[in-house]
Structure formats: C-alpha cells, structure tokens
Chain A
Amino acid sequence: MSGPLQKGKLPKELTSEMESTAKASQYLRAAVRALRDFLPIEKKRRVWKTLEKIFEAEPIKQSDFQMYHRGGYAQSPQKTAYQKEGMEIALERNIPAYQQSLMEPMGQRDLRSVTISQTDIRVEPEALHYLNNFAMQQMYDDIKRTVILNLDIPHRTIQVRAGKEVTPESVNQYLRSVQHTIGGGSILLEQVADVDPVLTSDAYCKIITGNDEIKDFIDPRFIIDIDKMFHESKVKKLKEAIGDTIHLVIRAPTIAVRTADAGAAFKWGAMNSIIAFIGTYRLARDSVISDIAFATRQANVVLLGDRGWPSRAHAFNEYGGIPFGYLADICQGDSELPAKPFLQVALENEELARKYISKTLGCLSIVVPVLSEIWAGLYGSDNFSLTPGLVVASICADIQEDFLDIMTNLASKYFARITRTNIHVVPARWYNLRWVIETIVHEIMTTMEKYPTMMELLWSGIQRTFLLGSMAANMAALLTGSTTAGLWALRYTNALLVKEGWLRSAAGDEMVDHIGMPNSCSLRLEEGGLPELQGMNSPANIFGIAQAYGMAGLGYCAALARGDPWVCSPIVKVAFADPSLKFNFKNPLADIIAGAQKTYKPAGERALKKEA
C-alpha cells in the first residue's frame, strides 16, 4: 500500500477546517475540561454504578483491552453448559445437536451476565430468552387464556325464553358449576371422560361488577373485588364505568392454550360456560339452548385480541390483535396509587411522581418487550436472534431507570408549575412539545455517547430506538395527556431526530415512523386509527417491535397525565387485577427474575402429577 496518508497525519486539506479554527479546538479543550469537572457528577448516576459493576471497568472507557482474549463462548457458563448438554444429546440420539464450534469461534467479545435494574441479581442473556424463561411464557399464556363474557344477556334469555327464575342462589350455583366445567369436568353426561384437575388447576372463572348489591350476594371467592384491588379514588370511577352489569372473566387452562392456540381459550370458555348454564338451570336440548349459546358466547364478549392474519396468527387473543391500550390496562403496577393528574403529583412531590412512573412504565416495559420478542421471534420471523435484546434494554443495567429519572426531573422541574393555573396538562401543540422532545432525546443520546459500555450492551439499533423513541413518546403523552401528541414524538424522534444526529438508526425498523408521521393524526383504519386501539397487526406496525413499547406507553402516560384509572377498557383493567392469576401483573419483574433463576413454577405442565 502506498499513498499520501502518513502515520498519524491526515492531509491538511481535510483537517484545516478544524485546526485553523482556533475557536473549534478551544471548544474541544473546554469540553474535555468540562467532562473532567462533571466526572464526579457522572459517577453518582445509577447507570455508572451498575455498568461499572457489570463490566468491572470504568464505564466511559472506549477500549476493551481484553477483547479477543477471553476464550470465546467459554466465558459464559450458560453457553458452556449448553455445549455440554448438546454433546450429550448428540450422543444419545446419534444426530449432531447444539454445537458452538461451527466456523470461526464466536463470542470473542465480552459475554457478561447483566444486572437486573434496581437489584443486585445478575442473569445471563440466555435466561431472558422467552423459551428459556417460563415466567415469560406464563405471562403470555395468562393473556391468551383470558376471555370475558357478559352474563346479563344469557340471564335475561334464561328468564324470558326458558322461563326460569334467576336468583342469587342460582347465580352462585352457576358459578360453582362453571368452576367445575372450566377445568374439564363433565356436568351433563357421566359417560364422558373428565380431565385430571391437577392439569387444569389454573382454570377458573370470576365475576366483575360495578354494583355493590350484586357483589354482596355473590360468594366472595368468585369476585375480583374492585374495592380491595384499587385505590379508593379509582374505585368509584371504575365502578361507574362498569355499571350494574356482571362480567364473567374466564381463565381457560394453560394446557389447553398450549396444546392448541389462543383461539382455544375462547371456544373452551364459551362452551364450558354454556354447559354450566344448562346444568344449573336444568335446560333441555331445545331451541332455547341455541339462544343461550348465542347470548353467552357471541352477544357481548370481550376478547383481548382480534384475529390476526390467516397464515400465521389466525386465532383470537394472540398478540397481534391485542390493542396497545389493552396492554397498558393489563399492567397493574399503579392500582394502589391515587388517580391524580400527573403534573399535579409532580408539583407536590417529585419522589412520588417517580414512583408513579416506576409503577406504570416499569410494569409496561416488561410486558410489552417480552410480548414483542415472542411476536418477532415466533410470529414474525421465527427464532429471531435478537430475542433478549429488548428485555435487556428495558430491565437491565439501570439504563431505562436512569432515563426515567431524567424524564421525571424534566416534568417536575419545568412543567409541573402549569397546574397552578388550573391546567392539568400542557396544551398539545407542536411548539410546546418540540423543546422537551429534543431535550430528552439529546440527554439520552449524550448518555449513550458518554458510555461506550452502555453502547456495547445496546448493540443493536433496535434496542436504542426502543429506548429513545419510547422515552420521547412517553414524555410527550405524560405532559399533554394526548396520545396523538405522543405519537408525534415517537415518529419525530425515530424518523428524524436520532437519524440526523448520528446518521444511523434502527436497522430499517424506523420505517414505521417514516410512514407513521403523516398518519399520526389520522383515524382512518388503513392508516392506523386511534393510537390506543392500534396493535402490532395495524398497518406498518408488524415489524415495528421497537415501537410497540412507545405505542403502548404513550397511551398509559396519557391516562396518567389525565389522572384516569384505565387506558382503554375498565373491564380489562379489573380483569387483570385478579390475585389468583398465575403470573403477577402487579410486579412482573419478580416473576421474570424467578423465571430467570429457574425457581418459577408455570401452569400447564404435562408432568406435574406422578402416577401412583
């Protein structure tokens, strides 16, 4: 090789602009000096402490001196164990299995376990893969197996068409019957085979009602008690919204969902609840049955997810059809906090405001990334290798926690005072939001530039888009109470702001945002519709897994800003406040950690009962 480039010198033609400008180099020196001054402050950030612990080096160091000298995959105990297991499997079945030593050795960079945010628990990324972590599977199963039926119409049909009397006793008898049938027990014919109740021990039904009189006469074991599960300021609003009606929340057995698909939950729940009606009210097999069947399973049903596209996610209740607003309602972290406009809380107490954020976004940032990864991994592209990426970005190494600190600080420092003028939200105008969107995005980008270790952890553009876009969207929605404003922020950040700053974005995944910006105010269905009602199956959203958290978060934050106890549906909010659910939607992190540590016991296992 020859050429004009000499060691350590670029031609003057290139660097002259920089070097001839004394101002520029002075500015550089000033920046370096400033960095030295700010180092003690940086060291106080929670992200510094965690990254230092994870990487066992100064997190702002740009070089890794041990790179290529760490022994490949062997530095990960988990991968080493897999390799050993793979060898054993290969010997046993006589077909090669899991094998790390294909082509060049991979894993020469730092393969480290990561710390779960706000804990000292360290897990390997493998433990956050949805197939290795049973708690993640159970979370999705609990969503898939939930079907909500309204019982008013079938009760009315029984009174009018069958001429039977509906009394408090009969309703309780029905609820006892349905607990039997929902687990696979027979009620009408003794010849049919029953399902082993141990296998379906997670199947049950509960009642939701907004009427205290109805609540009083129903056996308390069958009720999701709004009074106990929510803060009193939310109870009144929820009861008013639900009203005097009775909803039956059905949890089909996990084993049914896992054997078939989420559509099975609907069929299972509908059929077994009808059979319980037949048994309770002693109905004959005449035309009344078809009316009751229609009234029960068709007339007023709340399914969590609509149908997806036929070739893959064809059933109800699959992630693709679940609106983002429902995903926010599924999260229960904030149930015990008072329903108050967020800026008012931020004015009174910044710590409490931070707690609001932790309880809402902290919960959502587990549910949505896990589901998104299942979506991308199993529905979108099958065994997509990014799998634990989004979960690592959201719950590991205090990265998101640090950004949430910035977010709360901005809201309480610059915007909370607006509530003194009897306005609870900032008017949703572009020029009100521009400054705050840009500020929070610059802060996060700066943090990423400062911490090469953080960039190493967030190795993919999708992870960075996931954090940057969602923070901006959540901030805008939190200030304005408007989901559309949140959508502007999400699109503007991903499609323009980050891309032009670094000239680099998210592996083409910001495509959704380029198209989505002109559509963000549109309610036409082919352009997306209301943000809360959009889902992964909405146009252009299918591969936007990095945007899903922002889309769900902006709905949640807008509700938080307005002081609303739910985002999209009070019924879904109450249905998931159920303490009998297998997965803990109030504190999902605890279950995810248990899943990572292999101490979590999921439902739907085939080998639960030992044969006597």
Chain B
Amino acid sequence: MPMKERRGKNKSKEFQSQFYPGFGYVADRRRKVVDRSRRLVKLRNIPDDDIVRLLGHRAPGGLYLSLHPPLDELMEAYDPIKELVVPTPGANSGDRLRFVQMVDSFWRAPIAPWLRQRLYFTRFRGVDTVVEAERTLLEMRERDVEAVTKLMIEMEVFDTARTALRSITPQGHSTRLDEMDLMFDARKRYILDFDSGHVAYIKNMHAETLDKPIPLGFPVPDNELKAIDVTFRYDTSQYKSKAEVLIVLSRIGELRILGGYKPDLINNM
C-alpha cells in the first residue's frame, strides 16, 4: 500500500477514558459521578458562611491562616513542573491544610466511600484522601476544602439524611436508621426540623454546638434514593446479575494473580 493511502488509515483515535464497566443505572451512576466531563445536578444552595461554620476550622469572615507567603512572593528555585502545574487558590495563597470528613450511610446513600474517593481524584485537584468503611477524609488547602465542601453539599452526591459531615465519632453507617429515617449519629449533630421539613445541623463537624442551626434542606425520600443508588442491592440491582462487572473483576483478579506469579503468563490475555 502506498504511503499516501496508509497515512489516512493509521490515524489514531483520541483516548477516551472508560470509567466503569457494565449496564444498568448503577453502573451509569458510577460512570457519571467520576466522569468530570458530566455535570452534577445542583440540589440546594448553601451560603458560604454556613459551610465555614459547618467545617468549624475558622470563624466566618475570619482570615485564613497561612503556612507560607503567597507563591508570587516566594523566591523559589526553577522547577519546570512548577511551571506546568497551576497551583490551586489555596496553595497559591499559602493556606494551611484542613480537612472535611464525610460519612455515607450503608442504607442507600447517594454515594459510597470508594466512589467518593474516585470522585475526588477525577474532579478535584490537590487532594489527599483516606477511605475507611464508613468515612472518607479529604485533606486540602483551607480555601480549597471550603470550595469543594460547598460543591459536595449542594450537588446530587449529598443527601441530608444519609450523608453527613463528621470528624469525631463518625460511626453509625450500618446502624439502623432512626425514626425520621436519618443516619444514626452518636453525637446527634443534625435533627429534622418539623416546621420546615429540612434537616438542620445543630452542631458543626466536630460536634461543637452552633450558635444557630444550619438548615441543609429536605432529605431525599427512600424511593428516590433507590433511583440514584450507586451500590448493587438484592432488591434493586442485583450484583450477581451484573455479568460484565463480574467478568471485568474476575479478569483483574486473574491478571493480578498470574502477573504477580509470572508476568509471561499474561502476555496473550
């Protein structure tokens, strides 16, 4: 084949990330949450000051404490990476590191810890995160953490009844729900306000009592939570019927085992 014709054929396609295998709404939800090109739906508006009060790291309107002068004022040795990576606003201003810790109920929370972590990796920058059975810790520069907390509370990945901000005593994700269908919290940081129907935080993330409650909005009802569930469950989306997910998992398992044993064995797989 002459070179002229070959040129057109070998045109390489642009790489497209594949976020999650499988069909059905659970796999779709998982793909949507981690795909930064897809917009998350905004469900509520929370004032900035309320976010600051919920986090409890500084007083609303207070100054940000800094670890170092703003990057513009620093004389640093030349480093090409620093030219390539644009610093986050918090890093640029030299903010200290602060955290937000989210707890997701086992009972139909709109997001779950490992997906939350993947969301952090794909949608945010400058993150440090730890996942545990019930909680996901996110550490960032202070003004960055405030910005992403606002985003996370306002968007569809937060439900006032099944997701919570907790630093101390985060347990309770697998405990039965209370009479208002809220996730159990041994520190009782939030209550359901009967007048407005909103869930209101009466304590901040560290379980320190707030001067006035912060309403975060209506809890999403149970049947609606089922519609946006991200976990496979026996009564909505059965795990054992998810053939493609299981085939991919099995393949990963096999590749890891064989590759760890003798890398040559996975050459033709």
Residues of A at the B interface (CB closer than 8 Å) are 1-11, 13-15, 17-19, 21, 24, 28, 31-32, 35, 61-65, 67-68, 103-104, 106-110, 430, 434, 438-439, 442, 445-446, 449-450, 452-453, 455-456, 458-462, 464, 488, 491-492, 495-497, 499-508, 517-522
| 9 further interface pairs, Cβ-Cβ under 8 Å (given A15-B227, A63-B176, A501-B232) | A4-B42, A10-B224, A18-B227, A62-B177, A67-B178, A456-B175, A504-B106, A507-B133, A521-B260
The residue from B178, B181, B232, B257 contacting A517, defined by CB atoms under 8 A apart: B257
Q: Give the nearest-CB partner of A9 in chain B.
A: B224
Interface: B48 (CB within 8 A): no
User: Are A508 and B131 CB-contacts (below 8 A) given A31-B236, A63-B178?
Assistant: yes
State the CA gap A502–B134 with chains docked (Å): 11
Instruction: Give B102-136 interface residues, CB cut-off 8 Å to A.
Output: 104, 106-107, 112-115, 130-134
A28 / chain B contacts, CB cutoff of 8 Å: 226, 235-236
B252 / chain A contacts, CB cutoff of 8 Å: 496
State the CA gap A497–B232 with chains docked (Å): 11
User: Are A446 and B234 CB-contacts (below 8 A) given A5-B44, A14-B41, A28-B226?
Assistant: yes
- Verify B25–A17 contact, CB threshold 8 A: yes
Interface: B261 (CB within 8 A): yes
User: Are A14 and B156 CB-contacts (below 8 A) given A7-B197, A62-B176, A461-B133?
Assistant: yes
| A5, A6, A104, A501, most chain B CB atoms within 10 A | A5
| Tally of B interface residues using CB under 8 Å | 71
Interface: B215 (CB within 8 A): yes
A459 / chain B contacts, CB cutoff of 8 Å: 171, 174-175
- Verify B220–A5 contact, CB threshold 8 A: yes
- Verify B179–A501 contact, CB threshold 8 A: no
State the CA gap A109–B249 with chains docked (Å): 37
A450 / chain B contacts, CB cutoff of 8 Å: 234
When each residue 204-237 of chain B gets 1 if its CB lies under 8 Å from chain A and 0 otherwise, what string results?
0001000000011110110010111011111110
User: Are A461 and B132 CB-contacts (below 8 A) given A9-B224, A31-B236, A62-B176?
Assistant: yes
- Verify A517–B253 contact, CB threshold 8 A: yes
- Verify B231–A502 contact, CB threshold 8 A: yes
State the CA gap A455–B172 with chains docked (Å): 10
List the 3 closest A-B pairs by CB distance, nearest first: A518-B260, A461-B133, A3-B44
User: What total count of A-B pairs have CB within 8 Å?
Assistant: 205
Q: Give the nearest-CB partner of B132 in chain A.
A: A507
User: Are A522 and B261 CB-contacts (below 8 A) given A14-B228, A68-B188, A106-B186?
Assistant: yes
The residue from A4, A8, A18, A452 contacting B107, defined by CB atoms under 8 A apart: A452
The residue from A10, A21, A63 contacting B220, defined by CB atoms under 8 A apart: A10
For the complex formed, measure the closest distance between the CB of A441 and the CB atoms of chain B, giving whole angstroms: 9
User: Are A7 and B133 CB-contacts (below 8 A) given A449-B234, A518-B256?
Assistant: no
The residue from A17, A65, A504 contacting B133, defined by CB atoms under 8 A apart: A504
B218 / chain A contacts, CB cutoff of 8 Å: 5-8
- Verify B188–A104 contact, CB threshold 8 A: yes
Q: Give the nearest-CB partner of B262 in chain A.
A: A521
The residue from A106, A445, A507 contacting B239, defined by CB atoms under 8 A apart: A445
B171 / chain A contacts, CB cutoff of 8 Å: 459-460
- Verify B245–A506 contact, CB threshold 8 A: no
The residue from B176, B221, B234 contacting A64, defined by CB atoms under 8 A apart: B176
State the CA gap A63–B183 with chains docked (Å): 10
